[in-house]
Structure 1
């Protein structure tokens, strides 16, 4: 055996450590950008009505992507566009309005992030009526644990806040809307589009929907205010383009299970971020509920990996 052969294993270690370090930095950036959507809405809500914020976030995102969607192709068929418009109504308009309205009504931003991060539970509940897949015993246990965590985390905020009780159901409805879009996409025979095309159509479709309530709130013209403009740019380039780009890049570098697990870190990051920026409540009850809820989500997520036939 030559000296070169002996040195080979030790020379690979720095490369592996470097790759691991890059992956950890990528995942950290993903968590921050994912949390940035909740923080951006909370920041912009001090400068403009919620639906005006959502309208301009969706419109600007769609218009930025439109040249790429048209120039890079492939050619878009009518039924593909129609299906993406449906997904835009559910995954964009339904989901974004659910959590954004809750934040605008005063529900703590970190708690909204926790509720919306329970997407695996919503997918599990809707899988039976849509895909015919009943929940397993493990999924039921995980679902109840996750729900208990949310109740623990939200109990304290209900005591200290002046938010109507029904407002806490808005992010739940938004999460169910996103889960429905996820399951419809899974069972759809329509061919998948490139991300820049599907995201473009979904954003423009959501903008058309948001334009109606924004008009009733006072109009669709932008607010000429630094806070509003900065908030929209933040939501477009950090929370939309940044988060989605990092998400797909992380999927290429790692496994879907690891990426999903990493995203479960976004609620605590959002809670601390909202506490530092806006002085929102942060208590041991919220932290304890977060831990309980994430444990339930992990149980459900791990049980949703059946072997492919």
Structure 2
């Protein structure tokens, strides 16, 4: 997909479709953080992520084998490496932070800084220069995250290292994305690449879960509901709505909707899990959104 295709104005026939798509995108995007928070009450996050990635990969496997030509071994190996970084380390790090009770909204906020981190890493790795406005926007966005983080530290519910894991996970995915772009791997349909990512990560999550106990899922209603939610809503629905939106609407418009997921996540976490909401959190969120707007606007 070309940049011109991504940035073209939305056709008039899709004008009334956007509010529906944006609502579904924000809902499904934020649901992943809430789903992890919910099901982590039933089992360790490694066991949760093992079953989430395994079930997702097995559902996608027949489609990956039957639709489109089978990819070459080199392409598969490249996608497996990307899966280690983008699913195992990235998703595992965020899930571990949520398990350690880092505020779920803050985890979502740091996660949505991924495009800014990719832009910043593109200069040393890809030689793509950022404008002064983009650097200013990045600095403002990071300041907003620090405001929310410092306020969250005052609650004392999570160890300091868990906050570092959250930031590190986001940076790992950003670095993996930049390397993936530099290597210019051949195009692979999303159902094939996502299948490879999830199955690769499931092996690693399975090893981690085995070290903590066994791979048997808890036979509870909460665990079943949580895994179903994570697979159908946070994985399949979120990806499908995201890529469909990119085909129909400008990329900046779609990105703006995703940046609204942290406040929605904060509200969900407050309503479902009684996680605190403070004025500093919303102030930091507002500062971050200003920085993101400065960096991403055309």
TM bin (shorter chain): over 0.9
Root-mean-square deviation over aligned CA pairs? 1.5
Hey, what does 1:279 align to over in structure 2? 274
- CA distance in 1 between counterparts of 2:209 and 2:139 reads 37
- CA distance in 2 between counterparts of 1:162 and 1:272 reads 18
Residue 70 in structure 1 maps to residue 68 in structure 2 = no
Hey, what does 2:166 align to over in structure 1? 171
Deviations 1:47-83 (A, max 9, x none): 0001001111111000000000001121210011001
Displacement of 1:301 after TM fit? 2.0
Residue 87 in structure 1 maps to residue 82 in structure 2 = yes
Displacement of 1:36 after TM fit? 0.4
Q: Is the contact made by 1:146 and 1:292 (CA closer than 8 Å) also made in structure 2?
A: yes
Hey, what does 1:11 align to over in structure 2? none
Q: Is the contact made by 1:103 and 1:109 (CA closer than 8 Å) also made in structure 2?
A: yes
Q: Is the contact made by 1:145 and 1:292 (CA closer than 8 Å) also made in structure 2?
A: yes
- CA distance in 2 between counterparts of 1:30 and 1:162 reads 30
Q: Is the contact made by 2:122 and 2:178 (CA closer than 8 Å) also made in structure 1?
A: yes
**Counterparts of residues 174-185 of structure 1 (less than 5 Å):** 174-185=169-180
Residue 206 in structure 1 maps to residue 201 in structure 2 = yes
**Counterparts of residues 181-200 of structure 1 (less than 5 Å):** 181-200=176-195
Hey, what does 1:108 align to over in structure 2? 103
Per the normalisation by structure 1, the TM-score is: 0.90
- CA distance in 1 between counterparts of 2:250 and 2:129 reads 26
Say which SS state the counterpart of residue 188 (structure 2) adopts.
Answer: coil
Q: Is the contact made by 2:43 and 2:223 (CA closer than 8 Å) also made in structure 1?
A: yes
Is there any run of 5+ residues in structure 1 with no aligned partner, and where?
1-14
- CA distance in 1 between counterparts of 2:167 and 2:150 reads 16
Q: Is the contact made by 1:120 and 1:300 (CA closer than 8 Å) also made in structure 2?
A: no
Deviations 1:131-176 (A, max 9, x none): 1234432222112111110111122221123311111111111111
Displacement of 1:189 after TM fit? 2.9
Structure 1 pair 120–189 and aligned structure 2 pair: CA distance change class (3 A)? closer
Hey, what does 1:49 align to over in structure 2? 44
The structure 1 residue matched to 2:24, chosen from 7, 29, 33, is 29
Displacement of 1:181 after TM fit? 2.2
Hey, what does 2:292 align to over in structure 1? 297
- CA distance in 2 between counterparts of 1:262 and 1:94 reads 25
Displacement of 1:191 after TM fit? 1.0
Residue 96 in structure 1 maps to residue 91 in structure 2 = yes
Is there any run of 5+ residues in structure 2 with no aligned partner, and where?
1-10
| Higher mean C-alpha displacement, 130-139 vs 266-275 | 130-139
- CA distance in 2 between counterparts of 1:234 and 1:178 reads 23
Q: Is the contact made by 2:117 and 2:171 (CA closer than 8 Å) also made in structure 1?
A: yes
Displacement of 1:186 after TM fit? 1.6
The structure 2 residue matched to 1:260, chosen from 233, 251, 255, is 255
Residue 242 in structure 1 maps to residue 227 in structure 2 = no
Over 4 Å off, 4+ runs: none
- CA distance in 1 between counterparts of 2:246 and 2:159 reads 39
